[in-house]
Chain A
Amino acid sequence: MSKPDSVDLSAFSVPGTSRGILDVFGYRYLLRLLVRKGILTRYHGSVLGWAWSYVKPTAQFFIYWLVMGVFLGLNRGIESFPIYLFSGIVVVNLFNEAFGNATKSIVNNKALVKKIYLPRELFPIADVFIAFVHFLPQLTILLAVCLIAGWVPTLVQLAGALLAILIVLLIATGLGLFFGSINVSYRDSQNVVELILMFATYTSPVLYSSSMVQDKLPPWLYDLYMLNPLTSAVELFHSAFWYPTTSETTARPEHLWLLAGISIIVALVMLVVGQFVFRRLEGRFAQDL
């Protein structure tokens, strides 16, 4: 491009360009306020307020426990089944919440996206953080129940739990950027996401154990099943919370750390792909909303 004469362009910038996720770190303060807004307004106008964050997972746990554990009798094969169940449910809930909200975040922030330029990645990322804050009450219930059951974890197991949270947040961000940017032009995207979220609970060993899958599926399909990042996150949580409360005689899935490592790589790849697609579609956001 030709330069206008006698004008030094070094101090100029092109409006509406950003470095994507990297720029979000430059907007840390705004990110914090957006997360705060999400937290403050979540239960606005409800009398119980944040108590709902305790009521909902407890009710959800109870129904699964009753149907899966008591009626279908899955608890006979798995020691301290309620804790097994709940430690898996919280992971899937975190994923569903983060991914589901991130997908709708650009559309939900329509007014801002159309009028003021900000790195748009801020919105899905803020939603992932909000989902994480929402996850903390559930984690608190889990911890309380585990402590009552005589839970003494090792440091390695706890590190595994943190790794699991990281995996879930990364894949939710990557997928959220991907489906969220498509959702601007094609609202089919959020329906596809709802479908994925519906499957998420069942394609990971939340309601049953992975050894049951191993017994039924051919080895290659079982390997594929175990490669699901959500599966390794759920199993890491099982290792950290459920396993120490049992007699520790149940066989754990093999190569769990290797699977976790692969999951991190998969999650990072998803993040890069999500960011790439997001950037490609970002230019049309303001006119398509």
Chain B
Amino acid sequence: MPKISELEPPRIIIEGVQKTYTLRHTHSFKETFVAWLKRKKTSTSFEALKGIDFSVGESEAVALLGYNGSGKSTLLKLVSGVLRPDKGRILTRGRVAGLIEVGAGFHPDLSGRENVYLNAAILGMSKDEIEARFDDIVEFSEIGEFIDTEVKHYSSGMFVRLAFSVAIHTELDILLVDEVLAVGDAPFREKCKKKIRELVAAGKTLFIVSHDLGMVADICSRGIVIRRGEMMFDGPVDEAITTLKGITR
């Protein structure tokens, strides 16, 4: 495990984190009663994460790799605070912004402009910060004159570009990315990668979940492989990708 410099405290600390989901199979008294009659289980538990330990330092770009159901998105949601760990703890330092399924806060009946303000505020920006960056956001998104059009008339590419542009322009120390770079056309993706590299160069911490191994290898320096809720590997990203290719789901 890479040692974190004594001078720079880490940005994210993950200590013995466990997360178990309880899946309810019955949703009404009737179903519960029938299940009880048939002596079926009414719920099962699923261990999504079984004790994960690591920390991420400043200006580190870390890729979280694993197949479907490995628990990587759960881990990202725990870091963002959407979920809480059952055991262990997670600590973050600085502002966390999530590019987790961009556009979650978009309202189709509002104009692009209204949505930019709303979403930037949802991501934790103040009014002054949004106003200062509004032009940059619109320019990056390449939406242009359509900014005052209702979002429901946007093409899916325009929608994603605007949403991504808002998220990438938020004031942040830690950026969480979950599978959003797979959208947009090739030139826009190039632009996003460039922007993300700029952020990392500026000392921001990047924590990314993706199946796009080429892109991950391109942006990240460190890779963590997770399989069935357990950490399999932590080290240079190239070796992490090799490890991932060698394991089964």
Contacts and interface: CB of A to CB of B under 8 A. Distances in A.
A13 to B, nearest CB: 6
Contacts of B37: none
B82 A116 contact: yes
Given A1-B89, A15-B80, A117-B98, 13 more contacts: A7-B10, A7-B13, A11-B9, A12-B91, A16-B78, A29-B121, A113-B82, A115-B82, A115-B101, A116-B80, A116-B122, A117-B80, A286-B77
Interface of B: 6, 9-10, 13, 15, 21, 55, 77-84, 89-93, 96, 98, 100-101, 104-105, 107, 109-110, 114, 117-118, 121-123, 126-127
Contacts of B117: 33
Interface stretch (A40-48, A87-95, A130-138, A146-154): A40-48
A14 B13 CA distance: 10
Contacts of A34: 118
A189 to B, nearest CB: 14
B106 to A, nearest CB: 9
B interface majority secondary structure: mixed
B110 A13 contact: no
B84 A283 contact: yes
Interface in A178-234: none
A40 B78 CA distance: 33
Nearest to A113: B82
Q: Which of A14, A30, A37 is the most central at the interface, judged by chain B CB atoms within 10 Å of its CB?
A: A30
22 contacts: A4-B15, A4-B55, A7-B10, A9-B91, A12-B91, A14-B89, A15-B79, A15-B80, A16-B80, A16-B81, A33-B117, A33-B121, A34-B118, A36-B114, A40-B109, A111-B105, A112-B104, A112-B122, A115-B104, A116-B80, A116-B98, A283-B84
Q: Which 5 A-B pairs have the closest CB atoms?
A: A16-B81, A15-B81, A117-B81, A12-B91, A30-B121
A115 B100 contact: yes
Contacts of A286: 77, 82-83
B90 A14 contact: yes
Q: Which of B79, B121, B123 is the most central at the interface, judged by chain A CB atoms within 10 Å of its CB?
A: B121
Interface string A114-147: 1111100000000000000000000000000000
Contacts of A16: 78, 80-84
Interface of A: 1, 4, 6-9, 11-17, 27, 29-30, 33-34, 36-37, 40-41, 44-45, 111-118, 283, 286-287
Contacts of B80: 15-16, 116-117
Q: Which of A15, A29, A44, A111 is the most central at the interface, judged by chain B CB atoms within 10 Å of its CB?
A: A15
Nearest to A45: B109
A116 B90 contact: no
B105 A116 contact: yes
Given A6-B6, A29-B121, A33-B118, A11 B82 contact: no
Contact of B107 (A11, A13, A17, A41): A41
B21 A15 contact: no
Nearest to B7: A6
A37 B107 contact: yes
B180 to A, nearest CB: 11
A12 B13 contact: yes
A36 B96 CA distance: 25
